[in-house]
Amino acid sequence: MRWIGMIVLLLVVVLLELYAFQALKTVSKSKIFRYSCVFVSLAVYFNFLYIALTYDRTQGQTPQFQMAMGLMLTVLLPKIVILIVLFGEDIYRLFLKLFSVLSTGETQPIANRRKFISQIALGLAALPFASFIYGIIQGKYNYKVIKYNLTFPDLPAAFDGFTITQISDIHSGSFTNKEKIQYGVDLINQQQSDMMLFTGDIVNNKADEMDNWIDVFDKLEAKDGKFSVLGNHDYGDYMDWKNPAEKVKNFQDVKDIHQKIGFDLLLDEHRYLEKEGQKIALLGVENWGKGFNQAGDLQKASKDIKKEDFKILMSHDPSHWEYKVKQDDFNYHLTLSGHTHGLQMGIEIPGWIKWSPSKYVYKQWAGLYEEAGRYINVNRGFGYHAFPGRVGIWPEITVITLKKG
């Protein structure tokens, strides 16, 4: 079955290349240009195959593997646009041919491919191509600060105006540019929030991915504390280990990173924050995701908390809120998640459109959602993974101000 899948994939790639070449041949008379485009595509494919077949799986997804994947997507996806446009034209040409055959007049040869249709196809394909190139070079560093004011009638008065900065999905194993990451960290600190919360995935797989970045992230500041939880990637489940003991040690090393950068890691635990004799509860659970690791224990984290307490929950995967948290009568006022990255690609124009393929997998996939007075914010992530860029779904720093009203 694996070989059948590979053969089908190869046939699809060949079909895409044939249609792309037809478009180039119709538009350009330069053989050098046409065959240069073919050469670039072949180089990208062979580079991906070489890295995919030779990289050390005990290292997980390396930046080199991610770049090979990103370049392949950059080459392939625009050609899907070309295929759609030109295949539509082929249907039209076939219709004209059949009409000619069935008519009483002289049968006409099938019409030639029209130049302006190929120009349209190439023009449309240039949009995702340019977007992906931008996303790989600069989009993944296009940090956006998104601010919300959330009002709750039962918020303790002492916490009226309390500010929270949420970051998520650092994925330090993907980083390559320290200057750009430092800029993002400085932007987080510029928010000067009372509390900072990190909602998981500090690495891709291995604890040592963070070694070169501890001196950057330990500069994060929040006067009332920094707290964190684990994400699905922090368990080391997506790579090969030499033995079970090595994986266990890595998991402990990942947990130790949080202390090294000054975060209090909550493992199915809670902390009370107090101001002027009043308090709110902050809870953090291990990863719980639909179709993923379900280590999180909400009941354990909630032990000794009162139902009437104002509660903020950190849970990496938003499916936890959808399937477990939102309907719990214990009333978790605000849940903070990440995980989806908004798939790192989509279209967002505030007030007009918000779309990503991620919406077909997660009901809550990016931004703020509310049901029955209970909120979840799904942070789009600080870093990136698998695809080494971001297109339309930018890295996010969330700032939430709690209001009593």
Where are any strands of DSSP class E within 285-325? 311-314
Task: Give the pLDDT confidence score for residue 277 in this predicted structure.
Answer: 95
Cα separation of 60 and 121, whole Å? 37
Enumerate the domain spans of the chain.
Answer: 2-137, 144-404
Task: Give the pLDDT confidence score for residue 254 in this predicted structure.
Answer: 98
Q: In what order do the strands lie in the sheet with 195-198?
A: 144-152, 396-404, 163-167, 195-198, 226-228, 264-265
Per-residue pLDDT 10s for the chain (405 aa) are 667 877 888 898 999 999 999 999 999 989 999 999 999 999 999 999 999 888 887 777 889 999 999 999 999 999 999 999 998 888 887 887 777 777 766 655 555 678 889 999 999 999 999 999 999 999 999 999 999 999 999 999 999 999 999 999 999 999 999 999 999 999 999 999 999 999 999 999 999 999 999 999 999 999 999 999 999 999 999 999 999 999 999 999 999 999 999 999 999 999 999 999 999 999 999 999 999 989 999 999 999 999 999 999 999 999 999 999 999 999 999 999 999 999 999 999 988 999 999 999 999 999 999 999 999 999 999 999 999 999 999 999 999 999 999
Helix (H, G, I), strand (E, B), or coil: what is residue 37?
Answer: helix
Architecture of the structural domain at 144-404: 4-Layer Sandwich (3.60)
Q: What is the DSSP string of 216-261?
A: HHTT---TT-EEE---GGGG-TTS--SSHHHHHHHHHHHHHHHHHT
Task: Give the pLDDT confidence score for residue 110 in this predicted structure.
Answer: 55
Task: Give the pLDDT confidence score for residue 296 in this predicted structure.
Answer: 96
Task: Give the pLDDT confidence score for residue 178 in this predicted structure.
Answer: 97
Q: Which residues contact 13 (CB under 8 A, 6 or more apart)?
A: 45, 76
Q: Which residues contact 151 (CB under 8 A, 6 or more apart)?
A: 403, 404, 405
In sequence order, the β-bridge partners of residue 78 are none
Report if pTM > 0.85. yes
Look at the block and give the residue holding tokens 């030109």. Answer: 86
Can you read off the two tokens belonging to residue 315?
Answer: 């849970």
Rg (Cα) of the chain, in Å, rounded? 25
- E strand or H helix that includes residue 6: helix 2-27
Task: Give the pLDDT confidence score for residue 244 in this predicted structure.
Answer: 95
Task: Give the pLDDT confidence score for residue 98 in this predicted structure.
Answer: 79
Cα separation of 214 and 187, whole Å? 17
Amino acid (1-letter code) at residue 172: S
Task: Give the pLDDT confidence score for residue 136 in this predicted structure.
Answer: 97
